[in-house]
Structure 1
Amino acid sequence: MCLVLAVDLARVSFFRFAVPGTAEDVWTSEEREIGFPATQLVASWTARTPPGAWIEVALRARAASGARTKWYVMGRWSEHGSPRTSVPGQGDEDGDVAVDTFVARRPVVAYQVRITRHGAGALVTGLGVMASAVPQRSMAPSERVAAEPVELAVPRYSQHAHAGHHPRLDGGGANWCSPASVAMVLGYWGRGPELRELDWVGAGDPAPIVDHAAMGTYDESYQGTGNWPFNVAYAGRYGLAGFVTRLRSAAELELFVRAGIPVITSQSFKARELPGSCYSTNGHILVVAGVTAGGDVVVNDPAAPRDDEVRRVYPRAAFENVWLRSSGSGGIVYVLHPPGHPLPLCTDGNW
């Protein structure tokens, strides 16, 4: 069952939509009540798009006054990359889209999501929307879920092993924390591209799946590989279900790991704030793979210089602080799992 947690990072509402696999070009959901005044919305999806086909995902919201916003495009997606882009320049008096997140200038209480299919054969296999209102507040460390340690056998890939590779894809390995993390989780689940899909990478690459993930998540407008929903959608190409949401504590992370599901997290910090990291970052993605007997967090951190240094143990309180505190990415996770693998049970509404 879902535990009552000591840390209340945010008000979070996550909802899954069933998109019919019909031939209709445009599908629009009913209006979904959030249950509180939200300041951010993130849509995430998985879809199959044959060559020449793509989808557009859009949201519009309703304020407490009853006024509705315009439709904001949250992403144009093709697994083949034409197009695969966020849409800048949508800001108005109601809000704006910051790459993958709708940021409301006035709190919103409801929303709709719209899928537009272009070309033949596009099929949406999963769609979720996370609404949140994140306060700025200090947080106390959460308690362990259980005393027994747990660690999942997640493959280890250093993003820096790919330094200089395919620099048109966000400069090569230095900025590839997100695709490296997704590649690790794909490997854990025994999924990923076939050998023939990796021919373009080139000989001598230490982990071609990382280069492939960078290619498969690259956002042409953002010019980077860190678009959260695009990373989820990439994993969907290989049969995984997935979504972006916010978790409220390391205890919630622990619930997933104990259910056999590694979790990809987003955080920023100075080196002194996360002992053992030895680097500072304005935004970084890594994989939570376990918890020690003392409650510290076992991660696969792609910022390590080599694959054999990727496994690290970060103090629980320090990790929880740098992961949860940001109003932009605070508590953000990608959850990727086979459709038949059950999630931990929870009634709090954030997954």
Structure 2
Amino acid sequence: MKRVATLLPADLGRVRLHRFAPGEHRESGRASYLDPFGHGERAWPYTRWTGDERLIGFPATELVCSWTGDAPAGGWLEVELRARTSAGALTGWYVMGRWAEGDTDVHRTSLPGQGDAGGDVAVDTFVAKAPVVAFQARVTLYGVGARVRSLAVMASAVPRRGSVPVSAPGAARGVELDVRPRSQHAHDGHHPQWDGGGGSWCSPVSLAMVLDFWGRGPDGDELAWVADGDPCPAVDHAARDIYDHSYQGTGNWPFNVAYAGRYGLDGFVTRLRSLAELERFVAAGIPVITSQSFKESELPGAGYSTSGHIMVVAGFTAAGDVIARDPAAPDDGSVRRVYPRAAFENVWLRSSSSGGIVYVVHPPEVPLPPSDGNW
């Protein structure tokens, strides 16, 4: 995890959910794609949807896509964005991800080296050279069986700030959701070809915990390849099928959401502006996956430092402190952690961290709490 950003005190972030509608442009054809990771070049039939231009509502400096859908063997998809600057110029198209459920046809990947006068893509985040006020999304479905159920685009503005004031405890004081704890270190040494092995799998472990909470995830046939005696085969499966071959990591934010979508969950990446906002999700029965970085001294009780880490917020104490499922714990029994509210909020929201990035995944029948615009 390498991205750093925080948000303006007004118009702090938006999720724009782009749904394919009959009035939007559609085309089809055939195109060749050279997989840079070993499958060679192949011609694919494709269908492409291009969405209408959407106004953001404020000058944004970053855009992050996320999607749910299917891309089984024989199909894959590509998500692209372009943006309009506040001066009226339209950027070119940027690839925000090439996604497939497995790696039998193409390798799942982000695309480095796209920088130009309009901006650049840092793994999963479009970073604008000049503020943008609108965007378009484009999705291309290749082969057979690929489809997209939802596409969300989160726009944010990113000023610099070194610290964040603590929010007052809110709706979830005294609430703890029953998220089963899992340690990434139970997978130390597993499959080093994916992000160096299980000791680095904070994101797939966090996602596996949340899928388990919702009673979703791969079945026995999907897990048959995992070695006997594995402490949680669903974690190995998630790491394999989230792995970004260009980034060489399992922390690509939209790839995590897309994996959850395979198992019937809705989901998106956004930025939250405070723990009080996050509490609305917990009060609604929805655990939230957060991204943060910190030195050991900045988060009492963590016992480690990190340049980027994913964990699950499962509840809050009566005093408003954070009850986390922190996969960096040495074993499952110590994954449940209570972190001081002020310290956690600061290391999650400040500009040397993720600026409040979260993954929200939930069954369609479980409603989201009311939103002020960023979900």
Pair in the same fold by TM > 0.5: yes
**Equivalent in the alignment of 2:155:** 131
Distance 1:237-1:109 versus aligned 2 partners, 3 A rule: same
Q: In structure 2, how many angstroms separate the alpha carbons of the residues matched to 1:23 and 1:123?
A: 15
Q: In structure 2, how many angstroms separate the alpha carbons of the residues matched to 1:341 and 1:23?
A: 35
**Equivalent in the alignment of 2:313:** 288
Answer whether contact 2:172 2:316 (CA < 8 A) is retained: no
**Equivalent in the alignment of 2:34:** none
Deviation at 1:23, TM superposition (A): 8.9
Deviation at 1:58, TM superposition (A): 0.1
Distance 1:127-1:58 versus aligned 2 partners, 3 A rule: same
Unaligned runs of 5+ in 2: 1-7, 29-46
Distance 1:9-1:85 versus aligned 2 partners, 3 A rule: farther
Deviation at 1:65, TM superposition (A): 1.2
**Equivalent in the alignment of 1:4:** none
What residue identity is the alignment partner of 2:130? R
Structure 1 residue 105 and structure 2 residue 140: aligned? no
**Equivalent in the alignment of 1:245:** 270
Q: For 1:43-58, what aligned pairs fall within 5 Å after superposition?
A: 43-58=65-80
Structure 1 residue 335 and structure 2 residue 360: aligned? yes
Secondary structure of 1:255 counterpart? helix
Calculate the TM-score normalised by the size of structure 1: 0.95
Answer whether contact 2:12 2:273 (CA < 8 A) is retained: no
Distance 1:90-1:173 versus aligned 2 partners, 3 A rule: same
Instruction: Give me the CA root mean square deviation.
Output: 1.6
Distance 1:156-1:264 versus aligned 2 partners, 3 A rule: same
Distance 1:328-1:113 versus aligned 2 partners, 3 A rule: farther
Deviation at 1:340, TM superposition (A): 1.1
2:333 to 285, 303, 308: 308
**Equivalent in the alignment of 2:31:** none
Q: For 1:72-221, what aligned pairs fall within 5 Å after superposition?
A: 72-81=94-103, 82-137=106-161, 138-146=163-171, 148-221=173-246
Deviation at 1:146, TM superposition (A): 3.5
Q: In structure 1, how many angstroms separate the alpha carbons of the residues matched to 2:113 and 2:27?
A: 31
**Equivalent in the alignment of 1:27:** 49
Answer whether contact 2:294 2:307 (CA < 8 A) is retained: yes
Q: In structure 2, how many angstroms separate the alpha carbons of the residues matched to 1:127 and 1:321?
A: 30
Deviation at 1:20, TM superposition (A): 5.1
**Equivalent in the alignment of 1:225:** 250
**Equivalent in the alignment of 1:69:** 91
Identity score, percent: 67
Deviation at 1:8, TM superposition (A): 3.6
Deviation at 1:139, TM superposition (A): 2.1
Calculate the TM-score normalised by the size of structure 2: 0.89
- 1:101-134 Cα deviation digits (max 9, x unpaired): 0001111111000001100221101110000002
Q: In structure 2, how many angstroms separate the alpha carbons of the residues matched to 1:142 and 1:188?
A: 27
**Equivalent in the alignment of 2:59:** 37
- 1:220-268 Cα deviation digits (max 9, x unpaired): 1111100000000001110000000000000011100000000000000
**Equivalent in the alignment of 1:317:** 342
Secondary structure of 2:207 counterpart? helix
Answer whether contact 2:81 2:137 (CA < 8 A) is retained: yes
Secondary structure of 1:308 counterpart? helix
- 1:166-225 Cα deviation digits (max 9, x unpaired): 110111112100000000000000000001111111011111111111001000111110
Secondary structure of 1:151 counterpart? coil
Count of aligned positions: 344
Q: In structure 2, how many angstroms separate the alpha carbons of the residues matched to 1:91 and 1:256?
A: 36
Q: In structure 2, how many angstroms separate the alpha carbons of the residues matched to 1:107 and 1:291?
A: 37
Unaligned runs of 5+ in 1: 1-6
Answer whether contact 2:68 2:266 (CA < 8 A) is retained: yes
Deviation at 1:10, TM superposition (A): 6.4
Secondary structure of 1:199 counterpart? coil
**Equivalent in the alignment of 2:43:** none
Structure 1 residue 14 and structure 2 residue 15: aligned? yes
